[in-house]
Amino acid sequence: MKYKILAVDDNPINIKLLRRALVDSNYELFTASSGQEALTLAAEHRPDLVLLDVIMPGMDGYEVCRRLQENEQTSHTQVIFLSAKNESVDKARGLALGAIDYLTKPFDVLEINARIRNHLKVNDRNIQLIRKVQELEARLEQKNNSDESDTAAKSLKKLLEKIEPEKISVNTKRFKLHALVQNPKKPASALFYSHPVQEDGLFSFAFSGLDRDYPTAMLKLLMQKYLQGFAAGSGTEDYTLSALTGLVNGLMDVFPDDVFDVAYTFILSYLDFSRKQALFFTMHQNTPIWFQPDARWKVLEGDKLPIDSEYATMIKAVRTNLPEKGMLFQYQNGLQKLPQILFEENTLSQFKHYWKEPAKWLEFLREQLPNPQDDRLMAAVSLV
């Protein structure tokens, strides 16, 4: 598949430089010398990425970006601003309009190629999955008219009933992670995704849908692919408050609830073991619990952080310190609260034997919890 890239700059020399820089058989490059021409070409070719100059006569890059976002046909197009202006306020304005990056001129050929590859890689997983689902849905609508649509219906159902691993384990020198995802009936409504960041960090996302239905299963699968794309192109420097806020904004923008009509909760986390700190972004969920080795426990409340997001009323961001030893524990079952049995003496007394072994602790808990047919998610991280 070729990626469509639209380069927009009123200076023909800059256009020539971009043509030379982006010599790649996987790229199909279009160019425009004005804002209006850029909008026309974007509507015609639906580019995957727009390299957009900020300062142009007539319609500037900011206005072009705003119009791309407002047009339903181009609203999901990624924009990278290119500008000689290197002020923080200019970068902030561009990112606030929905751009994914801001590069200053004169640009470095290696850097711009690396940035483009990373952004396309992240978006590619999402685009391909969305196209696949849309294709299967289109066939499904014709179910009563052809045998082919019967096959499409089965393919769509198989895709949405994809079985995720029930148990997830990661062991490193710094930590042990174990997660149990219980989806007794299909389609599944719970998801846990984790990605170790070298040896010093752990990125994770826990999703819990309030309904067990196919829209929830579809959204869950799409979000997982989106996060996998982000993690694949990210290093330790990409897990800052600003970067993770951008990721959360992207999730909410790409998967709006008014389109999918799905009610859900989530916790997005980054644990930095070298700094002994954790960042949590929660939507309709509490931050995790910390168990001390002696079974004393507390909610990891930390400091509530202001975030640059239109979803700030829905999303809570918290930074907290991680103790030296113990276990982080999180539990999700829709909007239900933590089960009371977790805090009873006969349960806590067993924790002293399990705090270094999250897998054994979660297996023990699963046997104690009521309502075995409920969808639920449990994850535990022990610092060793």
Same domain flag for 367 and 257: yes
Whether 142 maps to a domain, the answer reads no
Contact between 95 and 116 under an 8 Å Cβ cutoff? The reply is: no
Question: pLDDT class for 151, splitting at 50, 70, 90?
Answer: low
**Residue among 72, 11, 83, 1 at smallest CA distance from 42:** 72
Q: What percent of the chain has pLDDT over 90?
A: 36
Amino acid identity at 236: T
Backbone phi, psi, residue 116, to 5°: -65, -45
Whether 283 shows a pLDDT value over 80: the answer reads: yes
Whether 146 maps to a domain, the answer reads no
Coil, helix or strand at residue 202:
strand
Question: Edge-to-edge strands of the sheet including 3-8?
Answer: 27-32, 3-8, 49-53, 78-83, 101-104
Side-chain half-sphere exposure of 295, counting CA atoms within 13 A: 14
- The DSSP symbol for 185 reads S
Same domain flag for 188 and 302: yes
Same domain flag for 271 and 186: yes
Same domain flag for 350 and 282: yes
Residue 150 CB partners (closer than 8 Å, separation 6+): 143
CATH number at residue 320: 3.60.40.10
Section 108-116 average pLDDT: 85
- State the chain's mean pLDDT as an integer: 84
pLDDT at 323: 92
pLDDT at 97: 82
pLDDT at 95: 80
Residue 105 tokens read as: 């001129």
Question: pLDDT class for 94, splitting at 50, 70, 90?
Answer: confident
pLDDT at 216: 84
pLDDT at 125: 62
Whether 223 shows a pLDDT value over 80: the answer reads: yes
Same domain flag for 109 and 219: no
Whether 138 shows a pLDDT value over 80: the answer reads: no
Amino acid identity at 295: A
Alpha-carbon torsion, ordered 215, 221, 226, 229, to 10 deg: -170
Distance CA 233, CA 126 (A): 14
User: Within a 10 A sphere around the Cβ of 22, how many other Cβ atoms?
Assistant: 17
Same domain flag for 317 and 201: yes
Question: pLDDT class for 156, splitting at 50, 70, 90?
Answer: low
Same domain flag for 275 and 375: yes
Same domain flag for 209 and 112: no
Whether 137 maps to a domain, the answer reads no
Global pTM reads 0.60
Whether 102 shows a pLDDT value over 80: the answer reads: yes
Question: What H or E segment, with its residue span, contains residue 334?
Answer: none
User: Where does a domain end: 122, 151, 185?
Assistant: 122
Question: pLDDT class for 212, splitting at 50, 70, 90?
Answer: confident
Section 201-205 average pLDDT: 95
Domain coverage including residue 29 = 3-122
User: Where does a domain end: 90, 122, 154?
Assistant: 122
Coil, helix or strand at residue 209:
strand
Distance CA 127, CA 105 (A): 29
Same domain flag for 116 and 166: no
**Residue among 114, 110, 50 at smallest CA distance from 82:** 50
Question: pLDDT class for 360, splitting at 50, 70, 90?
Answer: very high
Whether 130 maps to a domain, the answer reads no
Section 76-87 average pLDDT: 84
Same domain flag for 273 and 358: yes
- 315-321 vs 277-283, strand pairing mode: antiparallel
Interval 224-281: pLDDT, tens: 888 988 888 787 788 999 999 999 999 888 887 667 778 888 999 999 999 999 999 9
Question: pLDDT class for 215, splitting at 50, 70, 90?
Answer: confident
Same domain flag for 191 and 68: no
- 376-383 vs 78-83, strand pairing mode: unpaired
Q: Which residues pair with 303 in a beta bridge?
A: 319
Question: pLDDT class for 142, splitting at 50, 70, 90?
Answer: low
Whether 139 maps to a domain, the answer reads no
Whether 42 maps to a domain, the answer reads yes
pLDDT at 234: 80
Distance CA 238, CA 272 (A): 12
Section 336-342 average pLDDT: 78
Residue 34 CB partners (closer than 8 Å, separation 6+): 8, 10, 56, 57, 58, 59
pLDDT at 342: 84
Interval 287-333: pLDDT, tens: 899 999 999 999 998 899 999 888 888 899 999 999 989 999 998 88
What is the sign of the dihedral through the CA atoms of 274, 279, 285 and 289?
positive
Whether 148 shows a pLDDT value over 70: the answer reads: no
User: Where does a domain end: 66, 93, 122?
Assistant: 122
Domain count, the chain: 2
Section 5-10 average pLDDT: 95
pLDDT at 270: 97
Weakest mean pLDDT among 180-189, 265-274, 275-284, 348-357: 180-189
Whether 138 maps to a domain, the answer reads no
pLDDT at 165: 56
**58 torsion bin: left (phi>0), alpha (psi -120 to 50), beta (else):** left
Weakest mean pLDDT among 185-189, 217-221, 319-323: 185-189
Whether 316 maps to a domain, the answer reads yes
Same domain flag for 174 and 110: no
Contact between 40 and 11 under an 8 Å Cβ cutoff? The reply is: no
**Residue among 265, 277, 269 at smallest CA distance from 244:** 269
- 277-283 vs 264-272, strand pairing mode: antiparallel
Q: At what angle do helices 61-70 and 88-96 cross, to 10 degrees?
A: 20
CATH number at residue 35: 3.40.50.2300
